[in-house]
A and B are shown apart, each in its own frame.
Chain A
Amino acid sequence: MAERISNREGLRGMANPTRYGLERVAYWLQRLSGLGLLAYLIGHIYETSSIVNGKVAWDKMLELTQTTQGHLLLTLVIGMCVFHTANGIRVMLGHGGIGVGKPGQPEYPYDKSQRSAMGSLNYKQRLCIWVSIALAALAMMYGMAVLFGD
């Protein structure tokens, strides 16, 4: 029992993106972006509710959110949203068995094409993670151009 508890890292273990390669980083980013987006959703619903208090309240709320900091936060939200979507679609396809390939027995000498030796993801899935990160970066750049271009 004591050993089981000592092996339980809890929140610290979940917050650590290292040790298990790219797939762990993707898992970590997916959860982090999910939590960030949920926080944004709650904030966005609260922010938009000020419209029921009339034009003055709405304009006051806009003064708070339509600032450089507000636009930077929105850019981050765009990045989180695009990564969460693209990586989420990869996870869905993976759960459905699409793009995961056939499991293979690791044979010595191990090379990177052997999934079981180097991790559980094949090159297609690993590529999808990089594409998700790239798409998020591109979307953030486009978002910045729109938000700061006004």
Chain B
Amino acid sequence: MAWQFYLVIKMRESIIMKIHYGTALGAVALVTIHILFRMTQNFSESLQYQNVIANYHLLPYALMLEVVLVLLSVHGFNGLRVILLELKQGIMYEKMINYGSIGAMAALIAYGSRTILMAGMGMS
């Protein structure tokens, strides 16, 4: 619980914004590689089952997907948190939004990681 307390209560907005910008820059670079992978061949061909599974079996690419997932989830849900906090303020409301966005972030990362892990290990 201590790390959650630090994340939600103690972390200054200036630090959170640096994380927001850092995750944005990292995501831009890695999403570019992700899109380029789709362009290595004809777009619809690259989406064929065997090609996509082959992508997941490639360890460096699977690791990159995991990093992209974390970066985009953190950036996306922090962005949503900022929008919701701009809309309304209040101790309970802010606490709810902060914890809610961390929860949603964790859930999306867990669900995406499950796909990467299962497809990567051939559990399909």
Contact = CB atoms under 8 A, between A and B. Distances in A.
B106 to A, nearest CB: 13
Contacts of A11: 87
Interface in B54-72: 56, 69, 72
Given A35-B80, A42-B108, A45-B108, A51 B49 contact: yes
Interface residue range, chain B? 20 to 34
A35 B52 contact: no
Contact of A58 (B49, B80, B108, B114): B49
B47 A62 contact: yes
Contacts of B86: 14
A interface, over-half SS: helix
Q: Which of B88, B115, B118 has the most CB of A within 10 A?
A: B115
Nearest to A150: B44
Interface in B15-37: 17, 21, 24, 28, 31
Given A45-B69, A51-B124, A66 B47 contact: yes
Interface string B73-90: 100110110010011100
Interface in A40-67: 41-42, 45-46, 48-49, 51-55, 58-59, 62, 66
Contacts of B47: 62, 66
B42 interface: yes
A45 B112 contact: yes
Nearest to A88: B24
Interface in B76-120: 76-77, 79-80, 83, 86-88, 108, 111-112, 114-115, 118-119
Given A51-B119, A52-B119, A85-B28, A38 B112 contact: no
Interface size class of A (residues with CB under 8 A): 20 to 34
B43 interface: yes
Contacts of B44: 66, 150
Contact of A34 (B43, B76, B112): B76
B47 to A, nearest CB: 6
Contacts of B123: 52
Nearest to B44: A150
B115 A45 contact: yes
A58 B117 CA distance: 17
Interface string A26-37: 000001001101
Which 6 pairs across A and B sit closest by C-beta, in order of nearness?
A38-B76, A52-B118, A49-B115, A55-B49, A52-B124, A45-B112
